[in-house]
Amino acid sequence: MSGVELRHLRYFVAVAEELHFGRAAQRLAMAQPPLSTQIRRLEAELGTDLLRRTTRRVELTEAGRAYLHRARAVLDAVAAAEAEARRIGSGLQGSLVVGCVGSATYTLLPRFARTLRDRLPSVAVAFRGEMLVPDQVEALAEGRMDIGLLRPPPAEPWLDLCPLRRDPLVVLAPAGHPFTARRRVTVQDLRTAELVAHAGARGSSMHALVVGMCAEAGFDAPIAHEVVETSTMVTFVAAGLGVAVVPEPAAALALPGVVALPFLGPGDEPVSIELTAATRAADRSPLVDRALAVLRELAGGADRIG
């Protein structure tokens, strides 16, 4: 097994580039005799001379020229590996997968993506939009996703939860619908409406919230259509197939013929729902921490993040 170490390569490269032991020793911040000894040991280990020494000059042998080329490549590779490890260790390089509920997909993800691209250009980021909370929790548990943007926060002890903000609920109604003549819509007004809702069988938190509010008001939610994606829900409203109760950012998917109205829940009070960033508590990385810092910054700014 070779006894050559990285320090031997560094010593040799310095001497080969300076072609002078004194200058090489000064460059390496060491005394000349130990440097000469280490080069001799390297040559002995290799079984060939790398340098031709005279009283006047130092020259590379043919073997020395070939070894210099390889030694430089090894040292460059080691330096690149060290730099890469430092970048990854500090969260400046790597890959990140982010999932997001539908109502935050259309405004949050583009802005978040632009900010990450500007600040972390060496990070490969993949986004998964229109994900229901159960799907995000499953993806986080299986390691297929690093950050989930969801609502409301799931009660899973293995998750770290970072509250970002609360979004008020609004009612989306098609143009010309009786609701559009009002200043606001209450949960009691939904009693005679046709609702477009997220599919309850998929574990949608918004489905459960709307159904729960209607039950608290004393009636069954009049759901006419169930859809999987928020974009489909807005499309159904634009087509006049019903009204929908959604977090306010969903109104950013502004289709012609859709009107957003303030919504009041039971007790005629505004209702809001929390947007939370969820990560695995056991393996938080510097990269995830940097991404969460960006999310907190965007959520705390003057502009809403979607």
Cα–Cα distance between 223 and 157 in angstroms, integer?
33
Q: Which pLDDT score, from 0 to 100, does residue 2 have?
A: 65
- Looking from the CA of 151 toward its CB, the CA atoms found within 13 Å total 24
Model confidence, pTM: 0.74
Model pLDDT, residue 302? 35
CATH code of domain 94-164+274-300: 3.40.190.10
Between strands 94-100 and 147-150, the pairing is parallel
Fold for domain 6-89?
Arc Repressor Mutant, subunit A (1.10.10)
Structure tokens at 236: 């159904």
Q: Residue type for 301, please? A: G
**Confidence at 157, pLDDT banded by 50, 70, 90:** very high
Domains 94-164+274-300 and 167-272 share a fold: yes
**What pLDDT digit, counting tens, does each position of 194-208 carry?**
999 988 877 788 899
**Per-residue pLDDT tens digits for 48-101:** 999 998 878 899 999 999 999 999 999 989 888 887 788 777 777 789 999 998
Q: Is domain 167-272 annotated with CATH 3.40.190.10?
A: yes
Cβ atoms < 10 Å from Cβ of 12: 27
Mean pLDDT, the chain, integer: 89
Amino acid type, 80: A
Give residue 109's pLDDT band: very low, low, confident or very high (50, 70, 90). confident
Question: Which tokens hold the place of 306?
Answer: 């979607």
- Does position 233 have pLDDT exceeding 70, yes or no? yes
Domain boundaries, the chain: 6-89, 94-164+274-300, 167-272
Name the helix (H) or strand (E) containing 289.
helix 286-300
